[in-house]
Chain A
Amino acid sequence: MDQERIRNFSIIAHIDHGKSTLADRILELTNTVTGREMRAQVLDSMELERERGITIKAQAVRVTWKGHELNLIDTPGHVDFTYEVSRALQACEGAVLVVDAAQGIEAQTVANAYLAIENDLELLPVANKIDLPQADADGAARELAGLVGDTPDHVLRVSAKTGDGVGAVLDAIVERIPPPIGDPQAPARALVFDSSYDQYRGVVAFVRVVDGEFRARENVLAMAQGTRFETEEVGFFSPTMKAADTLGAGEVGYIVTGLKDVAKLRVGDTLTTQGWPASEPLPGYKDVKPMVFAALFPTDSDEYPQLRDALERLRLNDASLSYEPETSQALGFGFRCGFLGLLHMEIVRERLEREFDLDLLVTAPTVAYNVTTPAGDVIEVHNPADMPPERERVEEPYVRASIVVPKAGVGAVMELCNDRRGRFDHMEYPSPERVLLVYELPLAEIVFDFYDQLKSRTSGYAGFDYDFAGFREGELVRLDVLVGGEPVDALSLVVHRDEAYSRGRALVDRLREEIPRQMFDVAVQAAIGSRIVARETIKAKRKDVLAKCYGGDITRKRKLLERQKAGKRRMKQVGAVEVPQEAFLAVLNLDDGKK
């Protein structure tokens, strides 16, 4: 296909503003799927995506409209997958920016729009849901125009639900989004903007060809990682996989690689042919590092092998999930997992519990710290228990948070951000009624119930999104919890010095309630190094006897003791102290308790 007749675009939107519905309508209107095939939101294939209304994996669908080939590249809607979003956007020349006309622009709209502008995309603002009685199409158009620097009359008005105006969107895509400008005669280069794993065909790469062309049975090189493979098939989605002879410059499609490990082909890498390789890869590849960490333990320690197998299988189609074995004296064998963000963590956890039927105990999420040792070495710490006692400095990840809130909620949001060590960056007024606040916040504060607090303090009206803003030094300390003088590894935290006392107090109080009295006094302490910041004592039991025991009830009394023994065996041992698993659960859910 002549590049002049190709348009590559994404749809970006805040959650529930109608991105998937618009995509469905486009597929229908272009006769890509017949009405009979039409399933609501065909692009969201995973069960979880359907339920959560979010898209985890990007996909690309080719449609034809008035003699043009249009490639719709679906992007994940969440900040955890920012890198994937940015690679997907890099594969496009334009983006349709959808806003719910009844809601106006939201934090995610802003973040996505910025991302698109950074990628030099032509933005096509669309006010959706104009069929709703409470829709304010003019207001939404004004906000959108303000955001993208356009005029309100340029904003398209549609109802993806009824199909009203969708044809005009397709026309505008052809008219306003520029065609790709690669060199069909140059050595082949394609950007991998996503991949998935098929258990029979291995890794399937989603690519945007920039220069040259790719075909089946051709030796290919992934330039950043150095992975070599032979293409088994090339093609495109319409909406199901359709094999093609070639994928040429400007086109979007898939390449079946036959690779058996998604980690061998990372998003952002550049493919070229081994026979006539390109000299330079496409710009922008980076190795995405997990930012949020938590340890996962099976509630029943016998399920450890199942957990290991399940993680292995998830890793097959989620290259951004990392994990390593972790042993906790309190919780047994498990894995410390690295996630792109909180949502990613939730998704992994839910998939493990739902698809693999595992019952999991998850430690409080923590972030990655860069620690400089006295010797000058810089180490990355993913587990609070690994935080070295001697350190020169500790850096923690910060995010730039965009919060959109009705005017009345500004004070509450500012107070929350200040409580959470936020630094005010700036403020905008996208509409007379709503304020965009931009703060820089430590990621650690975000993972500790920030979102719930934000929602509760603004009666649910605040919207929130963030992207990473680098590492900054912080006054951070490691807070250990000791039971009977023994540190409980799974409960260690890294907290800001100013919060150490209150967090330690809360942990100790909760544990005192949860740990049953023993045959001796048990000290429950929170400590920074050797300094105790909170302490409670669980007093020893003073009596524990079977009142009477005679010939008639020996069996019953013996069974009673056997039951108690069985209960003891289920306890986790911290030094000499027996702690029921529920106690750890209660403490790990401390955040929940505060909500």
Chain B
Amino acid sequence: MTGQVRHLYAHLPFCAHRCGYCDFVTVVGRDGWHGRYVDALLEELDLERGWLADPVETVFLGGGTPTLTDGSELRRLLGALPTADEVTVEANPETVTPTLARMLREAGVTRVSLGAQSFQPELLAVLERRATPDAVRRAFYDLRDASFDNISLDLLHGIPGQSATALEADIDEALALAPEHVSYYELEAKRGTRFAHVHGAELVRQAEAMEGYFELVVERLNAAGYRWYETANFCLSSDRAGGRDLRARHNLGYWRGRDYLGLGIGAVSTLGDRRRRNTPRLNAYVTALARGEAPDRELEALDVRTRDEERLMLGLRLDTGLPLAEAERSVDPNALGRVERLGLATLRADVDGQPTLVLTPRGRRLGGAVTVELLA
């Protein structure tokens, strides 16, 4: 039996330390569990294989810190996962060695997303990151030396204490490495986290100064030849990359509303009109799969309207815009006129002549507010 799902995600939760701002499902310690966990992942893959198309288009190993996983276990996992055009692994700089980089390359990984966050030692300390700026650069070169030709750098703006000068310095450092892809996120201090508790006041104080950071990031990366193809994502434009489309294909799948299968603790799958989320509890997950049973899952029914709302929310993040036909039920036609008049969006025909809603640069910087405005 062959399914339709072309995007496969696997979650590798192990971390050496939980960073204060992180809100992903992670597991610290439990070094002895790597083998059992990979067993469980592969068991879940077996159970769910029927959903997957053959071949799948993309595979993404996220975390946690996937590259912290015991090397032989990681290799075993990569070998057992289906092959795909794009296979991405998230890596933390301090875990990258020439050996690891070669192993990943040999195991079929095509793309590495390197969690740099910043090049400023004091800001890395605020983030509780363990890598030094030198380690970030060394990791990048190790990957290049292993002939990776699609490396993404993850960076943050809006870090407590980050001055505009420091932000510019980070951008300079990143550009000097000439990555194919950059993800630039605004730091979110989630309410109730230890991080928000420690740095909340500082962030409030800096809020006004930091308002322009996003704009600065977009300007600088655009000027350096990067395409701002998604709210927080940039790739070297194809004319500077020998015609290659360097957008993250796996993530494009999310933003275009495709179905995906997620494996591992806390992993989410969207399969037609339902979404499900695996238990975030390592023990429960491993135990269930050791018995050959599916793990506990939270289920969410997705009606047509909800899917349309998500199409709107996700589609507007892309520079290519949202084909209106895909989100008809969620768009308020009056609001459409309003955001157009405010110069936040334009309606144009795509290559097939279909009406497509594209945000202007200012509209994209206000993308959240525009989405809320448009929601019917």
Binding site for B on A (CB under 8 A): 519-520, 541-555, 557-558, 561-562, 564-565, 568, 576
Select one of A543, A546, A550, A558 contacting B251, CB under 8 A.
A550
Cβ of A564: which chain B residues have Cβ within 8 Å of it?
Answer: 368, 372
A519-B366, A542-B211, A543-B211 as given contacts; A551 in contact with B313, CB under 8 Å: no
Residues of A within 8 A of B212 (CB): 542
Contact between B342 and A558, CB atoms less than 8 A apart: no
* Contact between chains at B185 and A547 (CB < 8 Å): yes
**Given A548-B232, A554-B310, does the pair A519, B342 have CB atoms closer than 8 Å?**
yes
Q: Which residues on the B side are within 8 Å of A557 (C-beta)? A: 313
Nearest CB in chain A to that of B11: its residue? A552
Residues from 77 to 132 in B contacting A, C-beta threshold 8 Å: none
Considering the complex, give the chain B residue whose CB is closest to the CB of A554: B310
Q: How far is the CA of A547 from the CA of B260 in the complex (A)?
A: 21
Q: In the assembled complex, how far is the CB of residue B219 from the closest CB belonging to chain A, in whole angstroms?
A: 13
- The complex places the Cα of A546 from the Cα of B233 at a distance, in Å, of 12
Residue of B nearest to A553 (CB): B268
Give Cα distance in the complex from A168 to B96, angstroms: 105
Chain A residues lying within 8 Å of B194, measured Cβ to Cβ, are none
Contacts A519-B373, A551-B268, A557-B313 given: A544-B368 contact, CB under 8 Å? yes
Q: Which residues of A contact B254 (CB under 8 A)?
A: 549-551, 554
Q: Are A543 and B373 in contact (CB under 8 A)?
A: no
B248 to chain A, nearest CB (A): 10
- Of B183, B262, B366, the most chain A CB neighbours within 10 A belong to B366
Q: Which of B263-298 contact A (CB under 8 A)?
A: 266-268, 270, 275
Q: Which residues of B contact A548 (CB under 8 A)?
A: 183, 185, 232
Which B residues have a C-beta under 8 Å from some C-beta of A?
7, 9, 24, 183, 185-188, 211-212, 214-215, 231-232, 251, 254-255, 260, 262, 266-268, 270, 275, 300, 306, 309-310, 313-314, 317, 338-339, 342, 344, 364-373, 375
Chain A to chain B contacts (Cβ below 8 Å), 23 pairs: A519-B369, A519-B370, A543-B365, A544-B365, A544-B369, A545-B214, A547-B188, A549-B255, A550-B254, A551-B7, A551-B254, A551-B260, A552-B9, A552-B266, A552-B268, A554-B268, A554-B270, A555-B275, A558-B306, A561-B309, A561-B371, A561-B375, A565-B372
Q: Please, how many angstroms separate the alpha-carbon atoms of A565 and B9 in the complex?
A: 31
CA distance A565 to B373 in the complex (A): 7
Question: Whose C-beta in chain A lies nearest to the C-beta of B23?
Answer: A553
Residues A551 and B262 in contact, CB atoms below 8 Å apart:
yes
A561 and B368 contacting across the interface, CB-CB below 8 Å: yes
Contact between A551 and B211, CB atoms less than 8 A apart:
no
Interface centre among B9, B24, B212, B313 (most CB of A within 10 A): B313
Chain B residues in 8 Å Cβ range of A544? 365-369
| In contact, B372 and A543 (Cβ under 8 angstroms) | no
Rounded to whole angstroms, the CA-CA distance of A551 and B260 in the bound complex is 8
List chain A residues, Cβ under 8 A from B211: 542-543
B231 and A558 contacting across the interface, CB-CB below 8 Å: no
Residues of B within 8 A of A554 (CB): 254, 268, 270, 275, 310, 313-314
Q: Are B268 and A558 in contact (CB under 8 A)?
A: no
Contacts of B268 in A (CB 8 A): 551-555
Per the bound structure, the CA–CA distance linking A558 and B262 in Å amounts to 19
- Interface contact A545-B270, CB-CB below 8 Å: no
Within the complex, the shortest CB–CB distance from A26 to chain B, in Å, comes to 65
CB-defined contacts of A551 to chain B, threshold 8 Å: 7, 9, 254, 260, 262, 268, 270
- The smallest C-beta distance from B368 to any residue of chain A, in angstroms, reads 5
Cα–Cα, bound, A557→B312 (Å)? 12
Q: Kindly report which residue of chain B lies nearest to residue A546, judged by CB atoms.
A: B368
Given A555-B268, A558-B313, 10 other A-B contacts at CB below 8 A?
A519-B369, A541-B366, A543-B186, A543-B211, A546-B231, A549-B313, A552-B24, A554-B270, A554-B275, A562-B375
CB proximity of B246 to chain A, nearest CB, Å: 18
Nearest A-chain residue to B343, judged by Cβ:
A520
Q: Residue A555 contacts which of B262, B300, B364, B369 (CB distance < 8 angstroms)?
A: B300
Among A542, A544, A547, A562: residue with most chain B CB under 10 A: A547
A562-B266 contact in complex given A543-B366, A555-B275, C-beta closer than 8 Å: no
Beta-carbon contact of A568 and B215 below 8 Å: no
Q: What chain A residues lie within 8 Å of B366 (beta carbons)?
A: 519, 541, 543-545
Docked-complex contact B231 and A545, CB < 8 angstroms: yes
User: How many whole Å from B25's CB to the nearest CB in chain A?
Assistant: 8
Shortest CB-to-CB span from B315 to chain A, Å, is 11
Tell whether, in the assembled complex, residue A562 and residue B309 are in contact, meaning their CB atoms are under 8 Å apart: yes
- Taking CB atoms, residues of chain A closer than 8 Å to B371 are 561
Q: Is the CB of A552 within 8 A of B344?
A: no
Given contacts A541-B366, A551-B9, A554-B270, contact A561 B372 (CB under 8 A): yes
Please give, as numbers and ranges, the residues of chain A lying within 8 Å of B342 by CB-CB distance.
Answer: 519-520
CB neighbours of A562 from chain B (8 A): 309, 375
Shortest C-beta distance, B77 to chain A (Å), equals: 19
A555 to B317, CA, bound (A): 16
User: Is B251 in contact with A552, judged by CB distance below 8 angstroms?
Assistant: no
Residues in A whose Cβ lies below 8 Å from that of B251: 550
Given A549-B254, A555-B275, the answer on whether A543 and B375 have CB atoms closer than 8 Å is: no
Considering residues A520, A541, A545, A549, which has the most beta carbons from chain B within 10 angstroms of its beta carbon? A545
Given A519-B342, A554-B270, A555-B300: A549 in contact with B317 (beta carbons within 8 A) = yes
- Distance between B343 CB and nearest chain A CB, rounded to angstroms: 9
> Across the interface, do A558 and B310 meet the contact criterion of CB distance under 8 Å?
yes
- Bound form: Cα–Cα A520–B341 in Å: 11
Report Cα–Cα, A558/B314, bound state, in Å: 9
Provide the bound-state CA to CA distance between A541 and B254, in Å: 27
Q: Are A542 and B262 in contact (CB under 8 A)?
A: no
Give CA–CA (A512, B369) in the complex, Å.
Answer: 20
Contacts of B262 in A (CB 8 A): 551-552
Contacts A552-B266, A561-B372 known; A547 to B186 CB distance under 8 Å?
yes
What is the CA–CA distance of A592 and B43 in the complex, to the nearest angstrom? Answer: 67
Which chain B residues lie closer than 8 Å to A558 at the CB level? 306, 309-310, 313
Would you give the shortest CB distance from A392 to chain B, in whole angstroms? 42
